[in-house]
Structure 1
Amino acid sequence: MILTGGCLCGGVRWRVESDPVPVVACYCEDCRRTTGNHVACATFPAGAVTIEETTLRWYASSAEGRRGFCRTCGGNLFWTATDWDRLEIWMGTADMPTGLRLSAHEFTASAADWDAIPPDGLPRFERIAPGEVAGR
């Protein structure tokens, strides 16, 4: 499968060639404060992702990881752990259609009080979703 996407201004574009992967809704405080809402993310092997980095900047948001965003429009696109060979892509930045489906909700204990998690029957995890569920 091939997926493409990018930020609002087009300063950062990405392309992934990979098998289909799960998409997880993350309600953690870091994602919420970075984007203003929960995010839907998919994790890919770093080698499967090509990034055109004209305006890409990285921010070390914690000791464990960093976030990639566009310095022009402020669009948040990526997260990666400091010791990982994988890259999480915010699927809201993907060109549609993707053909992917949401598989779980994680960090539900951190969800904002105004953010109602839908009763969709998908697994919910108070903390991080297990690797086999999230494709990590």
Structure 2
Amino acid sequence: MSTDEEVTHTGSCMCGEVRYRITGPLREVVNCHCEPCRQFTGHYLAATAVSTKDISFEKQETLTWYHRTPTVRYGFCSQCGSSLFWHDATRENFFAVPAGCLDQPTGLSTVLNIYIETAGDYYALDPSLPCETGDITNW
């Protein structure tokens, strides 16, 4: 979804204790099949991306960050356990946001699979989507 119009999206964790508002464009959904994302979500991470300047929090007392490496962190709700954000400090201008945590309708569509070499062995990749080994540089 790329438009010059100002668009607002909202989202939250399952219990509603973390609630956020995004004002600005969202990138179309990318499915990440890397092992850490599969462990974070219990499946693969189907995420959009948002500029850090475009996100604000209405509630965030239970937002907790797990630092997997010195630069990569995962945000989740410490009350209900919802997987909410992925952030890499080396790409500090954006957060990856699981599309399933956004309030509907999102207007988004899935456009790409990444890290397909580490995809789970219990599901099939959508053959209609392009696939990449490893990461993409322009999240």
When normalised by structure 2's length, the TM-score is: 0.89
CA–CA distance in 2 between the matches of 1:64 and 1:27? 19
Hey, what does 1:33 align to over in structure 2?
39
**How far did 1:19 drift?**
2.1
Residue segments in structure 2 that go unaligned for 5+ positions in a row: 1-6
Contact kept in structure 2, 1:32 and 1:38, CA below 8 Å: yes
**How far did 1:130 drift?**
3.8
How many correspondences in the alignment? Answer: 131
Hey, what does 1:54 align to over in structure 2?
61
Q: Map of 1:113-124 to 2, 5 A cutoff? A: 113-120=121-128, 122-124=129-131
Query: Which secondary structure state, in structure 2, belongs to the residue aligned with residue 109 of structure 1?
Result: helix
CA–CA distance in 2 between the matches of 1:70 and 1:80? 15
Contact kept in structure 1, 2:26 and 2:48, CA below 8 Å: no
Q: Map of 1:55-134 to 2, 5 A cutoff? A: 55-83=62-90, 84-120=92-128, 122-131=129-138
Residues 35 and 20 of structure 1, relative CA distance in 2, 3 Å threshold: closer
**Which amino acid letter does the alignment assign opposite residue 93 of structure 1?**
C
Cα distance per residue 1:33-63 (max 9 Å; x no partner): 1111001111111010112212100110123
Q: Percent identity?
A: 33
Flag as ranges the 4+ runs of structure 1 deviating above 6 A.
none
When normalised by structure 1's length, the TM-score is: 0.91
CA–CA distance in 1 between the matches of 2:9 and 2:116? 27
Query: Which secondary structure state, in structure 2, belongs to the residue aligned with residue 105 of structure 1?
Result: strand
